[in-house]
Copies of this chain bind each other. A is one copy, B any other.
Amino acid sequence: MLAHVFVLGIDPGLSRCGYCVLAADGRRNRAVALGVITTPVSAPVPDRLVELQREVRGLLEEFRPSVLAVERVLFQVNARTAMAVGQASGICMAEAAGRGCEVVQYSPNQVKQVVAGWGGADKQQVQRMVQSLLDLPAPPRPADAADAAALALCHLAMAPMQRAVAAASGSRP
């Protein structure tokens, strides 16, 4: 039996926060958890952040992933959404890093490039590629769950190259 590594992908958000835990044994990647954490729009923001924090802690404690792959949001047209995404991503990163889980950020373009073959892929293309790569019976819905799975897949695809680059440049990864 091969050893598994768990990678947690998170597409941060307050109304819908996508998550995916992949178990990787070096031969295939299997989704062991996939979904969205939702918090009620009608509740006060601090209460919603506490709820999100509790759910993320639950994932970290249940699966003990070695890596959190999280979306790097560089700019947003909607500043109100940007704040909520920032708040959610801050909580996820602090909870993971505080438990010794490595945190790696990937931009949406990097993720689409790696998972769907080009940086301009749309949500349906990402959902179909995630379905295919993880051998799922249907495309993951909502799109936030698929995006979280794509983040974890992106990390698993990139990690060997990052290690090789680090080794070639004489430093340890």
Contact = CB atoms under 8 A, between A and B. Distances in A.
A11 to B, nearest CB: 15
A52 B160 CA distance: 31
B86 A46 contact: no
A74 B82 contact: no
Nearest to A76: B79
Interface stretch (A94-102, A114-122, A140-148, A163-171): A94-102
Nearest to A54: B98
A33 to B, nearest CB: 21
The residue among A88, A90, A105 with the most chain B CB atoms within 10 A of its own CB is A90
A58 to B, nearest CB: 14
Interface in A53-96: 53-54, 73-76, 79-80, 82-91, 93-94, 96
Contacts of A93: 45-46, 49, 87
